[in-house]
Structure 1
Amino acid sequence: MNQQANIIDLSDRSSDRWLQMGTGERQTPQRKKSFTSDVTVIGGGMAGICAAVAAARNGAKVILVQDRSVLGGNASSEIRVIVHGVTKLTTGLADRETGIIEEILLHNRFMNSQNSFTVWDHVLYDFVVREPNLTLLFDTQALKANMDGDRIASARCWQGPTETEITIHAKQFIDCSGDGLLAATSGAYYRTGREARSEFNERFAPEKADGWTLGATILLSSDDMGKPMPFKAPSFAIPYHGDDKHSSKGHDDRSIIPFQEGFWWVEVGSDFDIVGDFDEIRHKLMGYAYGVWDYVKNSGKYPEADNYALGWVGSVPGRRESRRFIGDFILSESDLVDHKHFEDTVAFGGWPLDEHNPGGIENLEDPPSFWHSHFDKVYEIPYRSLYSKNVSNLQFAGRNVSVTHVALSSTRLMATCATMGQAVGTAAAMCIEKGITPRELSANHIKALQEQLQRDDAYIPNHAASDEQNLAKQATRIVASSTSSGDVKLLLDGVPRDEHGRTHHWASQGLNEHLILEWAESVELSQVLIKCDTNLQRNIMMLKTPRDSENYAPAIPVELLKSLELEAKIGKKWVKLAEIEENTTRLIKFKFESVRTSTIRINLKDTYGSPKVKLFEIRCYR
């Protein structure tokens, strides 16, 4: 039997009885479109955004498919989860992500100083649509992969608001949707639930494998209205009386105070099929969220909440886990806690191993979080965990990658997922350029992928860059007008941050300083890249309640270099090649008409508040 004959044509509108009054004619809606791209990214969360932007910036034509009307996934205004990653190590400080995710968070600092989640949606929108090689499709669900042997030939999609069936043909597909419907329909191997302790020798895994999946949460927030605000629970609220019950056992992680930003532990999971159970879980979570708020307001135990009223309650659950697709390598607990070094590392993480209570709020006998195993330094994520074992042109990034359940308890954090996104987006563009598969890229071109990621300011732990095209490394002399810490020669050592307690920076004594690079013979230049300081030990994600502390920066990092200019010595004269007055990124790119010179000078004028300038790297290219 012809399988195609059994496929419903979602765009068939032949039964329509449409009289178009403007023309006076009967019409048949045309609701079918086809697109072609080099790379198609499914899912517009933080991983998907970074994947799409990375692929586009590296020369590929990209389509980003998002099933909602806003970008951001769990970080969007619909769900409002904070973009955590390597937020806090055992040192108490961050060692946070750079590259595209940092660029996004800095963009938000400049565009959204009021910390509005709805404006944040549009900061992300601006960040995506300004890319010339990138097409964004909102409200579009990728329903099915159309296969050609072991590769995805096209994605069959449905765009609800336009009632349009869309087919997207591409050479490379990246599933960053979290649940991974496209990848699942391609026949890609995946698993759900928890592995047995014996399979990967994971001490945090259960004795026997089971189907438990981390739960979803609906968040809420409240505001002080300056006067008593009574609250009456809606009909669907589920009464909550767990405070006494868990406190008597010492489980203070399920805390009511602070109550202003909601309760992450209002969580419901599944022990079989969390995707299929979504609607039931959402109804439960709505009831539990309002039930806990009713307890806060009306139990009499929290008089400090008398003047507070709900300002926002989510309607879309934020999901932590569903499908985990299988790659050539499954990352497990020991790889993280033992800080295993991989030759194909392309991303990193450092959030604690964080297993939530099986049962969530429906299991008040146990604490909401079973264990937190913190890291003293970041761990590595290999590229082999980011492409499919059996579908040749499929990659993934986010919470659906090739990891065990225990490893997922850390790798699922959004900024960590974003580092994976930049890696697979860059890899997809390289696969297009070379006409190869991700597995072939992994086997034969992994160093080229790592070098490109590092050029684009993605951090790869324990892998110093050695880009042969970087002419700065050929300079015979590099000098600075002053030095307060570090050494100016460290700007060429290939490590773009202070790492493992070792210094890899140069810092000036003040502002209006300069650096000079000289070559024995003249070189042809058209691009200079500089990596400046944004204080990677202080977090810059948007918080619901901004903090100014050793660990959190409430505004634009004062260390960020604001204004600078580039000059070249042509003959006996200094000629200005480029100037930036309002820099907004850690990776500063000077692009200019090609010149031949033996000397360049970088004039470092001002920062956003720091009394000195700190740099980590300088690169020069033809």
Structure 2
Amino acid sequence: MGGFARRFVDAVNLRYDKTWTMGGIFHEPHVAESILLKMIADVPAVIVKYDARLESVQSADHSIKGIQMQDGSQYIAKIFIDASYEGDLMAKAGINHTQGREAKSQYNEALAGVGPIVITDGAHVDPYVVPGRPDSGLLPHVAPNNLGAAGAADSAVQAYGYRICVTADKANQIPVVKPDNYDPREFELLGRIAKAHPEITKTFHYIANVPIPNNKFDVNSLGLLSTDEIEGSAEYIRADANGRRAIEAEHKRYTMALLTFLATDPRIPPNVQADVRSWGFCKDEFQDNGGFPRLLYVREGRRMIGDYVMTQHDLYNETTIPDSIGLGAFPIDQHVVHRVAVNGQVGTEGAIWQPLARPYPISYRSITPKYDEMRNLLVPVALSASHVAFSSLRVEPTYMITGQAAGAAAAIAINSGNSVQRIDYAVLAAQLKASGAVLNNR
């Protein structure tokens, strides 16, 4: 890791004891935010506009001429960068893109397409409202098994959720409030899991509470039913602003209801109940939002289809990348896509966790549209990658790497008068290396 990503990690280490942060990995949200805001403040020419939602794009002659926001403001530029998780600018500009999962045959990827149904915690857990009675209907958060053939393409996305930050420090707590219309029957599946598997006694198996500095936990999804609201995000990318807000609100309600259930249902192990009851949201985090994260964790949105599509083969270093802009290294990490009833039990589909043998180079062409589509746009987040490859690329340290490359490429394109596709890669590589970027893994 180098460049701005390394600068960020080093800045985190300066705030904490290096042993505690494990190289800058574990940190409080407000610390990360303050470091990033300081980086922006160090460049006075950068002006940040918050809550600016894209309305429309004006383009001609393979170039974006301007964009209009929903508040009526307009922006004109020589180069545009879509660094959003959703890829809205890229889509509204008419760039060819995809969503969901490619078939295994499309790029010859072993991990692509619909995966096998896995039964772990769902073993011996009846999926029906009345056990043994399919006619009684399925439990909440369990779907019928309508999956396609193994390896087939589909439009499904891995689950979203909120990465909440909680603390047991009473002096720094905002209470977790039971949502209106809370109904414990919504999480009957989780109660049955706890009853069927008394050997599952650790809080971490129900909800991944990773310790971070100052008596806090970074909470993520783990287990058969956790903070990811599986299939709750299926329409998020296609939704308009109001539709997305509704989906975000539903994910927040789900999170609060889940925490309430874990803290109160008698089938949940007593130590787990006690842990969750001891938590509250942190007063010193997300202070303008009641301690709750401002953004839903959009793990995957649209993906551009450029001249070069990153695939599983690139992650395995089976290809030659002549135009590297940095290295990816995160494991192939796909969260659950479907939770289904199967043979009287409950299974999940779509989850993959596969560490990689070594870092892999990321092609500059993966952040540029095709030349015949748009010549002044760079897309470092919703970049050109298969679903499998994106499952490794989709983390913030990698986005820092691709984002830095996009910024450097934009400046080169402006100064040289070239399209983003026709800049001199040698100049880009030299600039990235001069700023500490690592471009090869040898």
Residue 227 of structure 2 is aligned to residue 266 of structure 1 = yes
Q: Give the structure with the higher percent helix.
A: 2
- Residues 323, 232 of structure 1: CA spacing in aligned structure 2 closer, same or farther, 3 A cutoff? closer
| 5+ residue gaps, structure 1 | 1-96, 160-164, 463-498, 500-622
Following TM superposition, by how much is the alpha carbon of 1:158 offset from its aligned partner in structure 2, in angstroms? 4.1
Secondary structure in structure 1 of the residue aligned to 2:369: coil
Instruction: Choose 1 or 2 for highest CA Rg.
Output: 1
- Residues 387, 253 of structure 1: CA spacing in aligned structure 2 closer, same or farther, 3 A cutoff? farther
CA distance in 2, matches of 1:412, 1:360: 22
Residue 5 of structure 2 is aligned to residue 106 of structure 1 = no
Asked whether the 8 Å contact 1:241–1:295 carries over to 2, the reply is no
| Equivalent of residue 205 in structure 2, options 222, 242, 255 | 255
Alignment of 1:482-501 (within 5 A): none
- Residues 257, 195 of structure 1: CA spacing in aligned structure 2 closer, same or farther, 3 A cutoff? closer
| Equivalent of residue 89 in structure 2, options 157, 179, 182 | 182
| Deviations, residues 403-429 of structure 1 (Å, cap 9, x unaligned) | 011111111011011111111111111
- Residues 221, 117 of structure 1: CA spacing in aligned structure 2 closer, same or farther, 3 A cutoff? closer
Matched-pair identity in %: 22
CA distance in 2, matches of 1:193, 1:313: 28
CA distance in 2, matches of 1:357, 1:257: 15
Asked whether the 8 Å contact 1:236–1:286 carries over to 2, the reply is no
CA distance in 1, matches of 2:340, 2:106: 29
- Residues 360, 261 of structure 1: CA spacing in aligned structure 2 closer, same or farther, 3 A cutoff? farther
Alignment of 1:441-452 (within 5 A): 441=423, 445-452=424-431
Aligned to 1:192: 99
Q: Which has the higher contact order (CA 8 A, sep 6+)?
A: 2
Following TM superposition, by how much is the alpha carbon of 1:324 offset from its aligned partner in structure 2, in angstroms? 0.8
Residue 306 of structure 2 is aligned to residue 327 of structure 1 = yes
Residue 250 of structure 2 is aligned to residue 284 of structure 1 = yes
- Residues 141, 278 of structure 1: CA spacing in aligned structure 2 closer, same or farther, 3 A cutoff? closer
Deviates more, 1:349-358 or 1:427-436: 349-358
Aligned to 1:209: 153
Give the counterpart letter for 2:76 in structure 1.
Answer: H
Aligned to 2:163: 219
Following TM superposition, by how much is the alpha carbon of 1:332 offset from its aligned partner in structure 2, in angstroms? 1.0
- Residues 344, 236 of structure 1: CA spacing in aligned structure 2 closer, same or farther, 3 A cutoff? farther
- Residues 372, 104 of structure 1: CA spacing in aligned structure 2 closer, same or farther, 3 A cutoff? same
Aligned to 1:352: 331
CA distance in 1, matches of 2:168, 2:440: 44
Asked whether the 8 Å contact 2:207–2:227 carries over to 1, the reply is no
CA distance in 1, matches of 2:176, 2:374: 53
Following TM superposition, by how much is the alpha carbon of 1:308 offset from its aligned partner in structure 2, in angstroms? 0.3
| Deviations, residues 462-502 of structure 1 (Å, cap 9, x unaligned) | 4xxxxxxxxxxxxxxxxxxxxxxxxxxxxxxxxxxxx5xxx
Aligned to 2:347: 366
Residue 357 of structure 2 is aligned to residue 376 of structure 1 = yes
Secondary structure in structure 1 of the residue aligned to 2:47: strand
| Equivalent of residue 402 in structure 2, options 407, 410, 420 | 420
Give the TM-score normalised by structure 1: 0.52
Give the counterpart letter for 1:391 in structure 2.
Answer: M
| Equivalent of residue 62 in structure 2, options 150, 155, 180 | 150
Alignment of 1:234-245 (within 5 A): 234-237=179-182, 239-243=186-190, 245=192
Residue 280 of structure 2 is aligned to residue 310 of structure 1 = yes
Q: Give the structure with the higher percent strand.
A: 1
| Deviations, residues 527-572 of structure 1 (Å, cap 9, x unaligned) | xxxxxxxxxxxxxxxxxxxxxxxxxxxxxxxxxxxxxxxxxxxxxx
Alignment of 1:480-519 (within 5 A): none
Following TM superposition, by how much is the alpha carbon of 1:386 offset from its aligned partner in structure 2, in angstroms? 0.6
Asked whether the 8 Å contact 2:62–2:374 carries over to 1, the reply is yes
| 5+ residue gaps, structure 2 | 22-26, 114-150, 210-216, 282-290
Residue 368 of structure 2 is aligned to residue 387 of structure 1 = yes
How many positions carry a matched residue from both structures? 357
Asked whether the 8 Å contact 2:96–2:304 carries over to 1, the reply is yes
Aligned to 2:259: 293
- Residues 201, 210 of structure 1: CA spacing in aligned structure 2 closer, same or farther, 3 A cutoff? same
Residue 77 of structure 2 is aligned to residue 170 of structure 1 = yes
Give the TM-score normalised by structure 2: 0.72
Secondary structure in structure 1 of the residue aligned to 2:220: coil
CA distance in 2, matches of 1:253, 1:334: 37
- Residues 448, 430 of structure 1: CA spacing in aligned structure 2 closer, same or farther, 3 A cutoff? same
Following TM superposition, by how much is the alpha carbon of 1:273 offset from its aligned partner in structure 2, in angstroms? 5.3
Secondary structure in structure 2 of the residue aligned to 1:354: strand
Deviates more, 1:406-415 or 1:105-114: 105-114
Asked whether the 8 Å contact 2:338–2:350 carries over to 1, the reply is no
CA distance in 1, matches of 2:88, 2:420: 20
Give the counterpart letter for 2:403 in structure 1.
Answer: G
Following TM superposition, by how much is the alpha carbon of 1:237 offset from its aligned partner in structure 2, in angstroms? 3.9
CA distance in 2, matches of 1:230, 1:253: 19
Following TM superposition, by how much is the alpha carbon of 1:105 offset from its aligned partner in structure 2, in angstroms? 2.9
